[in-house]
């Protein structure tokens, strides 16, 4: 696959699954043995495969039905694609057991995807969870 094809595959996570809520696309873009590296994962980590990506995305689609991702940058080399992104959405649904707040949030993050055979085989997720929780009022602002 070309670097441009790899970048397009990585964008589908953000645009098709996160923004559009098309969870079924996970099987098209993630390998059956896909490995997720996520500092916010449950104890023991996420199981391998596309179902984990659906479990990651689904609560955010429920909690923020208008969630929209903006791809700020993509940098690719060999089999890796780094995507720097921002997201905006209104918390109008429950999120991981928390009631909706009605607040609009903006969060940033960066992901690294390793791609083989046209599918993402490994992902490293990193986003500003503390900022999200502060904006929702779950964690108080300092001072």
Per-residue pLDDT tens digits for 26-52: 999 999 999 999 998 889 888 999 999
Could you give the domains of the chain?
3-136 (3.10.450.50)
Residue 8: name the closest of 66, 74, 68 by CA. 74
Label residue 142 by pLDDT band (50, 70, 90).
confident
Alpha-carbon distance of 103 to 88, in angstroms, equals 11
The lowest-confidence range among 41-45, 58-62, 79-83 is 41-45
Share of residues in the chain with pLDDT > 70 (%): 100
pTM: 0.92
What is the average pLDDT score of the chain?
Answer: 95
Beta strands in 11-118 (DSSP E): 30-37, 68-77, 80-90, 104-116
- Tokens 């780094």 locate to 82
- Tokens 């670097």 locate to 3
């Amino acid at each position: 696959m070309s670097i441009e094809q790899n970048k397009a595959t990585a964008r589908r996570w953000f645009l098709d699954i996160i923004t559009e809520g098309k969870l079924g696309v996970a099987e098209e873009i993630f390998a059956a043995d896909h490995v997720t590296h996520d500092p916010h994962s449950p104890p023991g980590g996420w199981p391998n495969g596309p179902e984990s990506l659906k479990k990651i995305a689904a609560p955010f689609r429920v909690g923020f039905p208008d969630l929209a991702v903006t791809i700020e940058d993509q940098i690719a080399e060999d089999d890796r694609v780094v995507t720097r992104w921002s997201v905006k959405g209104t918390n109008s649904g429950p999120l991981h057991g928390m009631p909706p707040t009605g607040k609009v949030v903006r969060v940033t993050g960066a992901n690294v995807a390793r791609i083989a055979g046209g599918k993402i085989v490994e992902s490293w997720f990193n986003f500003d969870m503390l900022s999200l929780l502060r904006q929702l009022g779950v964690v108080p602002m300092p001072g």
